[in-house]
Each structure stands twice: as structure tokens, then as C-alpha cells.
A = this chain, B = another copy of it.
Amino acid sequence: MPYHSGRHTLQIPGPTNVPDRILHAIANPTIDHRGPDAAALTRTCLAGMKKIFQTEAEVMIFPGSGTGAWESAVVNTLNAGDKVIAFDGGQFATLWVKTARNFGIDVEFLGGDWHHGANAEELAARLQKDKQHEIRAVFAVHNETSTGVTSNIAALRRAMDAENHPALLMVDTVSSLASIDYRHDEWGVDVTIAGSQKGLMLPPGLAFNAVSAKAAEASKHSTLPKNYWRWDDVRVQNQNGFYPYTPATNLLYGLREAVKMIEEEGLPNVFARHKRLSEATRRAVRAWGLEIFARNPAEYSPSATAIQMPDGHSEVDFRAVVLKNFNMSLGAGLGKLAGKVFRIGHLGSMNELMLAGALCGVEMGFELAGVPHRKGGVAEAMAYLTASAAA
């Protein structure tokens, strides 16, 4: 790598740019995790996360990654051999299913077209056949980071309710929480899965579950072996502001600051900002003559856009050119999309000029890498950002 002056442009769909306020918070001295300051920290973080999950239900915070949050959702609520429905919509849906299968869960994959989100009608049809209520849970990814496709969670809930189906609804919000409107309570979600490194603007290292009363009840009957991710231990210790393990104190400092920043901006403003930046990105993509991987505009992701490479051109080479020349990281194609799509993250601590600079890097990168495209993507993005400016 040549020497690069200035800031790296981190434009992957997470980990996202961590604001200085949060980095400084994280750099505070580590404290006694069993003292009064630690207890106050826990309480502030838990209360703040409830607002962000839009829930009155309980929230669990683990030192871990989003992968751990999936595992926690599974091992606390299910039993080996349980039937679960999931939607084959992308790489992260696939990995979550792999997690569940590693615990002996019998997952049935619906769908399979990664260009679209979870299909509520398909779910309804499947549930209708489940007269015995053998299906114990439905897994859905609110925003599939690998494809830039969102799923309508409220519609899934309605489909379940229409069938009076008792399955638990579990939702991965790793790349949607604090970026895309998400309502744990209103949408009747039982377990929400989240991580720190996307909309929350933190480094990776914290995993979250929001847990409905129904999921909490289910956890009493789950016999999957577990220790680290065990909700009931956490619940008992959280009463006093503590944890059954040593918490990742410094990341919690960061979380406290992130919650504060999100409150300062206001959740609705956060959501509107992500929508606007994503629309600017999509307009650039269309102007370049490239295809947005998501097919249904209603399912376009406010947090990440996956873009199909023209045939015969690899995203791997393209991203390498961009990294080398412009010191920008773009998202790779994941799983079966490797080589075929690249992704632009526009979530977290992000604004117009950060995005505009990144889009310039993409447009220039196309040229340098010899990727066929029309010029003018940046111009279209600017036109939209200008037209939609508050001024």
C-alpha cells in the first residue's frame, strides 16, 4: 500500500465510522465492574437501548458479536429438533440458519431469491399448513446486509397473527437498528438481535437481544445447553446493574455516548437521514447505468446498497483499485454474491459530504478499473441531495 494522507473512507455496511465522541468515551479508564459507577452505566445503557429498540421489554447486552446474538436467541428459546422457518434472502440469513442448525434446529428455508425480502404471503401459506403448530419460530432479517434488501417485519407479524400461529418471531436488526425504523413492541417481535458496529456507531464487540415476555417464557422451557448466553443469569445480575461475566466496560461507555447522540439527533431524524442518503446513492447507481441488487423499491435498504458489477468484471478487482488509489473500503460481495456485487454502506455516523466523497471514489474507481459505466452518478446524487436539502 502506498502512504495515504488524510482519513480512510470507510464505506462498508459496517463496522461503520465511530464518531470521536464515542472513541473518546471508550478511551476512559476502565472501572470496577462491580462498583456503583458500573451499575449506573448498566442502567443507563439498558434504558437507552429500550428506546432504540422501541420496546418496554427486557434488553440483554453481551460482550460478543452479532453472531453471538443469534446464538443467544436460539439457545435461550428453542430445543434440539425444533422446527423453524427462515427466509433465504442473503448471506447473513444463511449464517444465522447455520448457527441454528449447529444447535440441532430443523430450519426450513423459504424463498431463495436474494433480490427480494421475506415474503409474508409465502409465510402465511406455510403457516397455514402447520396445523399442529410444529413451527416454533420464524427467523427474519430486517435488513440483509449482503444484499441491501429490507423485509417488512410488520407484515410477517400480521401473517402469523392471521393464522393465530404461536411461533416466536425473531428478527435480526444488526444492520438496521438505529438506521431504519424498527419497532420491537409494535411489530410483536419476540427476540430482536443486534450488534454494536452499525447504526449504533460503536466498534464491534457488543451483542444485543431484546426479549419479549413470550420469549422469556419460552426460555424457561428451552433445554439447549448454554452458559455464556444464558438470559436468566443476566436478568438476575442486571437487577443490580451487574452481569454474570465481566462486561466490556469501555464499549459500554461508548454505548452510553451513542445513545446520547441518537437522542440528540432524534430517532425519526436518524431514519430520515439514512433514507435520504440511500436515495442519493441509488440515483448515482442508476446514472452509472448499473443495477441495484434489490429489485423492489419498497425493500430498498436505507443502510446499504448492493450494486451488481457488469458481466465479466469482478468486484474484488474493482474494490482493490479503489482501496489502493483512493484509500476507501467498499463492501465485498458475500457468499454466492462474491465477485458479483459490491456494496456501499451509508449508515451510522454519515452525512452528505462523506457520502458524496465516497461516490466520487466509486465513479473514479470505475474509470481506473475499467468498469463500463456512464459518468454522472455523482452529479445525480448531488442533484437529489440539493433538491432535498432543508435550506
Please state if A17 and B29 are interface contacts (CB–CB under 8 Å): yes
Q: Looking at the assembled complex, report how far the CB atom of A290 sits from the nearest CB atom of chain B, in whole angstroms.
A: 17
Q: Given A102-B230, A325-B390, is A24 in contact with B24 using a C-beta cutoff of 8 Å?
A: yes
- B204–A33 contact, CB under 8 A? yes
Alpha-carbon distance between A51 and B273 when the two chains are bound, in angstroms: 41
Q: Mark A355-391, 1 if CB is under 8 A from B, else 0.
A: 1111011011001100000011011001001100111
In the complex, the answer to whether A7 meets B66 with C-beta atoms within 8 Å is no
Contact A246 B65 (CB under 8 A): yes
A297 in the interface (beta carbon within 8 A): no
Spot the interface stretch: A151-159, A210-218, A248-256, A301-309.
A248-256
Q: Is A312 an interface residue (CB 8 A)?
A: no
Q: B391 contacts A324, CB within 8 Å?
A: yes
A228 to B95 alpha-carbon distance, docked (Å): 11
Q: Interface size class for chain A?
A: 35 or more
Contact residues in B for A324 (Cβ distance below 8 Å): 391
A240 at the interface (CB under 8 A from B): no
Does A99 contact B227, Cβ atoms closer than 8 Å? yes
How does the 8 Å CB contact mask read for A48-79 relative to B, with 1 for contact and 0 for none?
A: 00000000000000111111101100000000
Within 8 A of B (CB), among A8-34: 8-10, 12, 14-20, 23-24, 26-34
Interface residues of A (CB under 8 A from B): 1-10, 12, 14-20, 23-24, 26-36, 62-68, 70-71, 80, 98-99, 102-104, 195, 197, 203-205, 224-228, 230, 244-251, 264-266, 269-270, 273, 321, 323-329, 332, 349-358, 360-361, 363-364, 367-368, 375-376, 378-379, 382, 385-386, 389-391
Report the 10 A-B pairs with minimum CB-CB distance, sorted nearest first. Answer: A357-B357, A6-B351, A205-B248, A356-B360, A32-B329, A67-B245, A203-B250, A65-B245, A353-B357, A24-B24
